[in-house]
Amino acid sequence: MVNPGLFSGNKSVNSVKVSFRIPYFTQWGQSLLVCGSVPVLGAWNVKRGVLLSVVHQGSELIWGGSITVPRGFQCQYSYYVVDDKKNVLRCEMGKKRELILPEGVQSGQEVEFRDLWQAASDSLPFRSAFKDVIFRQSWDLSEATVGDNHINFEPEREAVLVQFKISCPNVEKDSSIYVIGSNTKLGQWKAEKGLKLSYFGESVWKAECVMQRSDFPIRYRYGKYDRSGNFSVESGSNREVSTNSTRNDVKYIFLSDGMLRETPWRGAGVAIPMFSVRSESDLGVGEFLDLKLLVDWAVASGFHLVQLLPINDTSVHGMWWDSYPYSSLSVFALHPLYLRVQALSKNIPEEIKKEIEKAKQQLDQKDVDYEATMATKLSIAKKVFAQEKDLILNSSSFQQFFCENEGWLKPYAAFCFLRDFFETSDRSQWGRFAHYSDDKLEKLVSKDSLHYEIICFHYYVQYHLHLQLSEAALYARKKGVILKGDLPIGVDKNSVDTWVYPNLFRMNTSTGAPPDYFDKNGQNWGFPTYNWEEMSKDNYGWWRGRLTQMAKYFTAYRIDHILGFFRIWELPDHAMTGLVGKFRPSIPLSQEELEREGIWDFNRLSRPYIKRELLEEKFGAAWTFVATTFLNEFDKNIYEFKEDSNTEKKIASKLKTCAESSVLLESEEKLRRNLFDLSQNIVLIRDPENPRKFYPRFNLEDTSSFQDLDDHSKNVLKRLYNDYYFCRQENLWRQNALKTLPVLLNSSDMLACGEDLGLIPSCVHPVMQELGLVGLRIQRMPSEADLEFGIPSQYSYMTVCAPSCHDCSTLRAWWEEDEDRRLRFFKNVMESNELPPDQCVPEVAHFIIRQHFEAPSMWAIFPLQDLLALKEEYTTRPATEETINDPTNPKHYWRYRVHVSLESLIKDIDLQTNIKDLVRWSGRSLPKEEASGVDASVVAALSVAEAVTVLSVAEAVSEKQKFSSATEKPVLVK
């Protein structure tokens, strides 16, 4: 490697001119520059990079520039889009480019690097989901012949060496990559005479060819030769390389042609929470080792992916509230609920085996009994631990696990001990342990402590959870199935993470979501919001650690509520509902801004506006009781809340006291809802940290406080409302996401998908596209404002499409919920003027599921409940019982269990064949053992005429892919 610090851009007798050329369409005021690892390219300081100039070439903008370097020069570089002050607006994704001058380049010669912009989506095939799972068997690198970078070229006056380079991550073993084209050196479009490329590792293929200047321009394409001798040429228009006929100094052209253009890969998957799985071996709940059966069923059904909900420990309250999988006790620890106790030891005593069998009978219920299952598993695990603790804790396997995980494992075990000792996770009740320190931790987990065995038990459980999930994850990879995890947006306020890292959280706030499809009153999840400023000080180390941990088991993940990385809906700690919140970060309305618009009565606008007429309307005859108990009359017929009732939590507490005293004239729930409505009857929310800053209340026009304003104030506030929610924040939120999301994406090589449902800012989808994040599309929740139902055939490729998800009703339940909506769907989507069936019969499910299989989306992922709707015998259970979550109920019990075991599903060949046929005919990829040829069982099930047609089509496709003679040419765009 040449020392780059010795050289500058000044031309010398031993210098070589290096030129860069890249097509890229920019907006007005934008430019491209190249920046690299050496001083002449800015040493990764973009401000010092080399600005490129632009020329128009047809409809394209071609950017170019050059530097002078010594012979033997090499470096890394990337392209950037910048504004007129060289501020980075966009940068290339993926790996840095390598620039290595060939040994034979002579002084005074020019080497031109012709590149294509590396978009984030280009790097997706190199994520572990594809590289290590889907394409794992495609190319055995250990047997590949890897080329070298040595180039033999004696430059003549009219000769130019062209190096072709293409990336092709999905190449079957014993296949080859060729380039064919209009030049004789490229076979004049004849595959057998084309230029064969050599493999250079990491899916890169290269070959050099010496051309004469008279040969240019050259049109060409890449293609594959498979082991059967079939040649498939890449799709799209011809590629072209030309050279300036007036210049003779360019002797080398290095083409970086991006990805081989093929039909985009599309796959399918199944989604089910871990706790919902049922098997013949489990104890009342799905267990990690059950994933092996689920993978077997997925492969038999033609699926490449299994998606789970979060699997982290949520044992905060010690009761069924802990069934909520998004409220983590620890973002690193796995949930003991999913432990298979039978697999803890090969030497389980007979009495414990009998206890396990008895528990299996008792816990085999319709739904998960969270508390009984947890208690049973921990009780059995403790007995097995007592028998073999010394053997396990002294084993090399455990020691390695402990060494790799002690950073989170020791605080987790200590927290669990303290939680159980003090009988609460509320650390304010822990005395001197309320505040974490490393010294206190080491004393708690010391081998000399009286409770060391309890600490070790938590180590032991996590160790076995790790072994069992790792076994399932390895099994899935070998079967070609992606395990997709879930990254929750929040953690519980009483968690290990907030105890150890309180500075990373805003503990006096809660996260949630504004009113949307899921809940017209908004949601309050109760998690503290993040202190992003503090997190940034170590480059978001806590997040990076989470992703590193997930990547041990998963090859893809879902980013829960990805909107939270742009901005989060922040609520005060005293709020119970999700309506009266504000976005963080956001640009508030200043008092000066409002005063300039003639808005000045800030107390009137930011305090609950309660008139006697409103009380009488809401509470009827009980209004005097409400006014006396909860309110003070501070002006004639104008009221305000008393000090002991001026927040939602205070209202709820006081109501509970009144209920216990039997003084309520109406139901507690109805009174609470109406009192909350009173407290939310405001127009502006005053910032608790800066009283001169305000935020417009969501849906402020729905309040009587707004309706009683004069017309001028209404017009001003409506305009400012629209500006706050839909205009002024966009750049701020974009910049916020571009600080945080790349850290997540670069922390692992998992495939990342973002749950982008809800109130979506206009900056979200462009940023997701820029970062290569796959979005989510649910048909009943279209992002287009003018559509009632999404149109799967119009979804973009970079999406996951699904008919439902865990946060809404299943396909069957949705169909039955609303007769008028069902009629509109049947008429407008299914294009039938008949009356729809009252229930989601298999024919309806088949139509909707087929729509999603056929969508252009990269992934079609289906809740298992929706797939079971394809067969009548699985629809006997009431559809409403299949619901996983009710977002409107913060205390929802997450306990749904599939009513059929995995073993039974594996035996159900009819259902597997039905699903597999949908996968096959939609053009989606099948697992390797399922993908080749036409399935004989399918042909056998068809009529004779249909079978002949299918086989004819298959043969025609095979023939079309063969490039057989000089007289036959591929369809080319010239």
Residue range 616-642, pLDDT digits in tens: 999 998 899 999 999 999 889 999 999
pLDDT at 115: 97
> For 216-230, how does the pLDDT look when each residue is reduced to its tens digit (9 = 90+)?
999 999 999 988 889
- Band (pLDDT 50/70/90 cuts) for residue 604 is very high
Note if the bond before 336 is cis, omega within 30 degrees: no
Is the distance from CB of 191 to CB of 962 less than 8 angstroms? no
Q: Residue written as tokens 């620039």?
A: 99
The SS3 of residue 832 is coil
For residue 99, report the phi and psi dihedrals to the nearest 5 degrees: -115, 115
Could you read off the pLDDT of 381-430 as tens digits, one per residue? 999 999 999 999 999 999 999 999 999 999 999 999 999 999 999 999 99
Rounded CA separation 484/555 (Å): 6
Q: How confident is the model at residue 941 (pLDDT cuts 50, 70, 90)?
A: very low
Highest mean pLDDT among 140-154, 207-221, 892-906, 927-941: 892-906
- The full DSSP string for 397-426 is HHHHHHHHHHHHHHHHHHHHHHHHHHT-S-
pLDDT confidence tier of residue 137, bands split at 50, 70 and 90: low
Torsion of CA 769, 775, 781, 783, to 10 degrees: 0
pLDDT tens-digit map of 822-854: 999 999 999 999 999 999 999 999 999 999 999
Six token digits for residue 507: 């503990």
* Whether pLDDT at 949 is above 90: no
Q: Which residues lie across from 690 on neighbouring strands?
A: 687
Pick among 3.20.20.80, 3.30.390.50, 3.90.640.10, 2.40.30.10: CATH of 272-487: 3.20.20.80
Mean pLDDT in residue range 878-896 = 93
Q: Which amino acid is at 214?
A: S
CA nearest to 713, candidates 849, 604, 822, 844: 604
Region 294-302 average pLDDT: 98
Q: Which residue has the higher pLDDT, 482 or 146?
A: 482
Number of separate helices (H) and strands (E) present in the chain: 29, 38
Return the structure tokens found at 75.
């470096």
- Band of pLDDT at residue 148, cut at 50, 70 and 90: low
Residues 530-544 have pLDDT tens digits of: 999 999 999 999 999
What mean pLDDT, rounded, does the chain reach?
90
Determine the pLDDT at residue 251.
Answer: 86
What residue type is 906 in one-letter code?
Answer: I
Closest by CA position to 806, among listed 724, 859, 866: 866
Share of the chain above pLDDT 70, in %: 91
Cβ contact 751:551 at 8 Å: no
Between CA 207 and CA 523 the distance in angstroms is 58
* Dist CA 275 CA 310 (whole Å): 10
Lowest mean pLDDT among 93-107, 271-285, 771-785: 93-107
The pLDDT of residue 706 is: 97
Select the more confidently predicted residue: 570 or 517. Answer: 570
Q: How many Å apart are CA 841 and CA 847, to the nearest integer? A: 10
pLDDT at 262: 92
Q: Residues 110, 250: contact at Cβ < 8 Å?
A: yes
pLDDT digits (tens, 9 = 90+) for 344-393: 999 999 999 999 999 999 999 999 999 999 999 999 999 999 999 999 99
Task: Give dist(CA 841, CA 869) in Å, integer.
Answer: 7
pLDDT, average across residues 679-706: 96
What residues pair up with 15 in beta bridges, in sequence order? 70
The confidence score (pLDDT) of residue 246 equals: 57
Instruction: Give kind and range of the element (H or E) at residue 944.
Output: helix 944-960
| pTM summary value | 0.90
pLDDT at position 163 is 96
pLDDT at 863 over 50: yes
Contact at 8 Å (CB) between 865 and 812? yes
> Contact, 185 vs 207, CB < 8 A?
no
Backbone phi and psi for residue 661, each to the nearest 5 degrees, phi listed first: -90, 0
β 509-513/523-524 pair status: antiparallel
Q: Looking at 488-532, which runs of residues are DSSP E strands? A: 505-506, 509-513, 523-524, 529-530
pLDDT band at 758 (very low <50, low <70, confident <90, very high): confident
HEC per residue, 147-170: CCCCCCCCCCCCEEEEEEEEECCC
How many C-beta atoms lie closer than 10 Å to residue 681's C-beta?
20
- Per-residue b/e over 51-81, b at no fewer than 16 CB within 10 Å? ebeeeeeeeeebbbbbbbbbbebebbbbbbb
Q: How far is CA 552 from CA 268, 351, 474, 776, 884, in A?
A: 23, 35, 10, 24, 27
- The mean pLDDT of 30-51, rounded to a whole number, is 96
Q: What are phi and psi of 67, to 5 degrees?
A: -135, 160
SS3 475: helix
Beta-strand pair 638-641/610-611: antiparallel
CA–CA gap between residue 179 and residue 714 (Å, rounded)? 66
Q: Tell me what the mean pLDDT of segment 689-693 comes to.
A: 95
Question: Is residue 606 predicted with pLDDT exceeding 80?
Answer: yes
Q: How long is the chain? A: 974
Residue 548 has pLDDT above 50, yes or no: yes
Residue 81: pLDDT band (50, 70, 90) is very high
With beta carbons less than 8 A apart as the criterion, state whether 409 and 455 touch.
no
- Write the secondary structure of 31-78 as one string of H (helix), E (strand) and C (coil): EEEEEECCHHHCCCCHHHCEECEEEEECCEEEEEEEEEEECCCEEEEE
Dist CA 563 CA 570 (whole Å):
13
**C-alpha span between 273 and 907 (Å, rounded):** 22
d(CA 101, CA 107): 12
Say if residue 58's pLDDT is above 70. Answer: yes
Rounded alpha-carbon distances, angstroms, from residue 784 to 10, 762, 795, 801 = 55, 12, 11, 15
Contacts of 684 (CB under 8 A, 6+ apart): 589, 602, 605, 606, 694, 695, 696, 697
